Amino acid sequence: MNTSGSTKSLAPIRSRVDAVQTVLERNGLDTDSFIDTFNDLAVEQWLPRNGARLIARAWVNEEFKELLLQDGIAAAKSMGFNFPAHHRYFVVLENSEKVHNVICCTLCSCTAFSIIGLPPDWYKDLEYRARVVRESRTVLQEMGLDLPKETEIKVWDTTTDTRYMVMPQRPPNTMGWSEEKLSNLVTKEAMIGVAVL
Ligand code: FE
């Protein structure tokens, strides 16, 4: 987008990427290895499976659930998960019969990506970001989640330093299931709050 008001056209994207890369490398930053490392983290380590394991443990272990709700970072670290330094707070939002939580990032696309995975494309869409805060019930319905009228919907707007994860209600008829088996039920959509289990 040209915000200067002039009609001068931009250089092609490839030349602009090359220019940025040249400056970064001139300043001692190795862009190729950064991209490899980032890809490895995104594909191998930042998986929704991490959040699913936290939630399954909270369902079966009341003490762990209290820790998870009070200090998400400490709970996640106790299971070996990590956060980038700028994720200073990891806040877990517990769903109940009365309250359903849903998260968004009105500014861009922030998530607790090391725990719930990178955001889906629709999460980054202006339409989701703008509408979920104003007409959350309708947006959830459009996404296939029709909540009872009595259920209050709370929308949480992610910031750079505060990341959220929704803890869905444990599905009925799962008494006695192992933590492992329970964790297989938890989806990224449920941890964002646009689906239930
Ligand atoms: Fe964002």
**pLDDT per residue as tens digits for the range 144-188:** 999 999 999 999 999 999 999 999 999 999 999 999 999 999 999
Q: How high is the pLDDT of residue 34?
A: 86
Which tokens belong to 164? 């959220």
Query: What average pLDDT is seen over the chain?
Result: 94
User: CA-CA distances (angstroms) from residue 159 to 32, 91, 116, 131, 188?
Assistant: 28, 11, 16, 18, 19
Q: How high is the pLDDT of residue 32?
A: 85
Token pair 């959350």 is at which residue? Answer: 136
Query: 149 C-alpha to center of ligand 1: Å?
Result: 30
Exactly one of 105, 114, 136, 183 is catalytic; which is it? 105
Q: How high is the pLDDT of residue 35?
A: 87
The span from the CA of 56 to the CA of 50, in Å, is 10
Query: 144 C-alpha to center of ligand 1: Å?
Result: 24
CB atoms within 10 A of CB 28: 6
Percent of the chain exceeding pLDDT 70 equals 96
Q: How high is the pLDDT of residue 130?
A: 96
Which tokens belong to 143? 């996404």
Closest CA to 154 of 140, 171, 172, 169: 140
Query: 6 C-alpha to center of ligand 1: Å?
Result: 29
pLDDT tens for residues 84-107?
999 999 999 999 999 999 999 999
Check pLDDT > 70 for residue 66.
yes
Strands 89-94 and 162-167: parallel
Q: Is 108 a catalytic residue?
A: yes
pLDDT band for position 10 (50/70/90)? confident
Query: 7 C-alpha to center of ligand 1: Å?
Result: 30
Strands 152-157 and 162-167: unpaired
Q: How high is the pLDDT of residue 7?
A: 57
Percent of the chain exceeding pLDDT 90 equals 87
Q: Is 104 a catalytic residue?
A: no
Q: Please indicate, yes or no, whether the overall pTM of this predicted structure exceeds 0.85.
A: yes
* Host H or E run for residue 188: helix 188-192
Phi then psi for residue 82, to 5 deg, are -130, 165
Query: 111 C-alpha to center of ligand 1: Å?
Result: 7
Exactly one of 104, 110, 114, 136 is catalytic; which is it? 110
pLDDT tens for residues 22-37?
999 999 988 888 888 8
Q: How high is the pLDDT of residue 42?
A: 87
Q: Tell me the domain boundaries of the chain.
A: 13-43, 48-192
Closest CA to 132 of 159, 100, 157: 157
Query: 89 C-alpha to center of ligand 1: Å?
Result: 14
Query: Treating both helix axes as pointing N-terminal to C-terminal, what angle do 13-26 and 31-40 enclose, rounded to 10 degrees?
Result: 100
The span from the CA of 173 to the CA of 51, in Å, is 21
Q: Categorise residue 186: left if φ over 0, alpha if ψ from -120 to 50, beta otherwise.
A: beta
The span from the CA of 49 to the CA of 55, in Å, is 10
pLDDT tens for residues 127-156?
999 999 999 999 999 999 999 999 999 999
Exactly one of 15, 96, 108, 178 is catalytic; which is it? 108
Check pLDDT > 70 for residue 6.
no
Q: Please tell us whether the domain made up of 48-192 is placed in CATH 3.90.330.10.
A: yes
